C-alpha cells in the first residue's frame, strides 16, 4: 500500500486511548508506516466525559521524546481532533492559536449539546432530525476554515446503524454537498476514516460516493486515517482507503506539516 501514512491516531493522551504513544510508534514501524499524526481529542463541553482530559504540555513532552526515539524511522506529526461545536467556537480559535500543530481535524461529535455516541439519542431523535442537525453543524465547521480536514464525515452511521438501519448519503445529498462545497471554498480537506469498515456499517466514514462527490466538486485535500485508539487498530484498512481515493479520481493523498497539505502521489 502506498502511501504509508496514518493521519488519525489516538494514544493515552485521549481519554479513550488504549496504547501509549511509544507503543503506537513501535507498531507503526512494524507495519512499515512512514508518517503518523497523533490526533488527540479536544472536547470543550463541560459535561462531556472527555472534558478537561486534553493535556498539551504532557503530550508535547512525550511527542518530543518519541520523535527522538524513532528518529530516522518514523515521522511524527503534531495533531489534534477538535470536537467542533458552535457553542465553543471562540474557545476553539484560542486553542488553535500559539501551538505548532501540523494537522487539525474538525469533528462533530455532538449536536445541540448532546453527544452522538449516546445511543438513547437515536431513540429520542428521528433519523431526519439527527442527520439534518448533524450536517448543519458540520457545515459550520467547514465554513469556519479552522481545520485541516473534517473528521469521519458521516459519523452518525457509526452509532445509529443498528437503530436507523442503513441511511444512504443520497437521502441528504443537498446537505452533504453544502458541507463539501464549504470545505472546498475554505481549503478544508476531508479524511477517509477506515474505522467504519469494522463498524456495523461496514463502510468507511465517509463512503466512496461522498469521496467521489468531494472530488467532483473540486476537492483536492484527502487524508487517510484509521482512528486507531490502540495498536491493534493502527493502519487498519488504509489499503482500502487508497483504493477508494484512486477510484474517486484522486491523484494523491494528503499529509500535513505545519498545517500545510503535502500531497503524496498515488502510485
Contact positions vs Zn ion (CB under 5 A): 81, 107, 151, 227
- CA-closest candidate to residue 190, choices 7, 19, 5: 7
Query: C-beta of 40: minimal distance to Zn ion in Å?
Result: 9
Q: Give whichever of 116 and 167 is closer to Zn ion, judged by the CB atom.
A: 116
**Which is nearer to Zn ion, 51 or 69 (by Cβ)?**
51
Classify residue 149 by burial, with Cβ atoms within 10 Å: 0-12, 13-18, 19+. Answer: buried
The least distance separating Zn ion from the CB of residue 150, rounded to whole angstroms, comes to: 10
Least Å distance, CB 196 to Zn ion, is: 11
Least distance from Zn ion to the Cβ atom of residue 41, Å: 7
Measured between alpha carbons, how far is 9 from 24 in angstroms, rounded to an integer? 8
Minimum CB distance to Zn ion, residue 267 (Å): 27
Q: Tell me how far apart the alpha carbons of residues 220 and 251 are, in angstroms, rounded to a whole number.
A: 9
Long-range contacts from 70-74, C-beta under 8 angstroms, 24+ separation: 70/25, 70/29, 73/29, 74/25, 74/28, 74/29, 74/33, 74/34, 74/35, 74/36
Residue (48 or 227) nearer to Zn ion, CB: 227
Q: What's the distance, CA 150 to chain centroid?
A: 6
Residue appearing with cell numbers 511524527: 76
Place of cell 501551538: 99
Q: Which of 30, 150, 145 is nearest to 93 (CA)?
A: 145
Nearest distance, CB of residue 218 and Zn ion, angstroms: 25
The helix (run of H) or strand (run of E) holding residue 180 is helix 173-186
Q: How far is the CB of 205 from Zn ion (least distance, A)?
A: 9
Residue (151 or 206) nearer to Zn ion, CB: 151
Q: 7 vs 122, which CB is nearer to Zn ion?
A: 7
Nearer residue to Zn ion within complex by CB, 26 or 158: 158
* Of 185 and 225, CB closest to Zn ion: 225
103 — phi, psi (to 5°)? -150, 125
- Beta carbons within 8 Å of 20's beta carbon, 6+ residues apart: 11, 12
Amino acid at each position: 500500500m502506498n502511501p504509508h501514512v496514518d493521519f488519525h491516531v489516538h494514544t493515552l493522551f485521549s481519554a479513550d486511548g488504549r496504547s501509549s504513544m511509544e507503543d503506537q510508534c513501535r507498531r507503526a514501524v512494524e507495519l512499515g508506516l512512514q508518517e503518523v499524526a497523533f490526533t488527540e481529542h479536544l472536547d470543550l463541553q463541560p459535561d462531556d466525559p472527555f472534558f478537561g482530559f486534553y493535556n498539551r504540555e504532557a503530550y508535547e513532552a512525550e511527542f518530543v521524546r518519541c520523535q527522538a526515539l524513532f528518529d530516522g524511522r518514523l515521522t511524527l506529526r503534531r495533531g489534534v481532533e477538535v470536537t467542533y461545536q458552535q457553542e465553543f467556537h471562540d474557545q476553539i480559535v484560542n486553542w488553535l492559536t500559539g501551538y505548532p500543530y501540523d494537522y487539525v481535524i474538525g469533528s462533530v461529535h455532538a449536536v445541540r449539546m448532546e453527544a452522538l455516541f449516546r445511543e438513547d439519542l437515536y431513540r429520542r431523535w428521528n433519523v431526519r432530525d439527527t442527520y439534518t442537525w448533524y450536517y448543519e453543524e458540520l457545515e459550520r465547521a467547514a465554513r469556519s476554515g479552522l481545520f485541516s480536514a473534517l473528521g469521519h464525515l458521516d459519523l452518525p452511521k457509526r452509532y445509529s446503524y443498528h437503530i436507523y438501519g442503513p441511511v444512504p448519503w443520497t437521502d441528504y445529498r443537498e446537505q452533504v454537498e453544502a458541507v463539501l462545497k464549504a470545505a472546498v471554498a475554505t481549503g478544508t480537506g476531508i479524511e477517509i476514516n477506515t474505522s467504519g469498515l469494522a463498524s456495523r456499517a461496514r463502510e468507511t466514514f465517509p463512503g466512496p460516493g461522498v469521496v467521489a462527490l468531494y472530488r467532483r466538486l473540486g476537492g483536492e485535500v484527502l487524508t487517510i486515517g484509521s482512528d486507531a485508539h490502540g495498536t491493534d487498530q493502527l493502519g487498519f484498512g488504509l489499503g482500502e482507503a487508497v483504493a477508494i481515493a484512486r477510484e474517486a479520481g484522486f491523484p494523491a493523498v494528503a499529509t500535513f506539516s505545519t498545517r500545510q497539505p503535502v500531497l503524496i502521489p498515488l502510485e
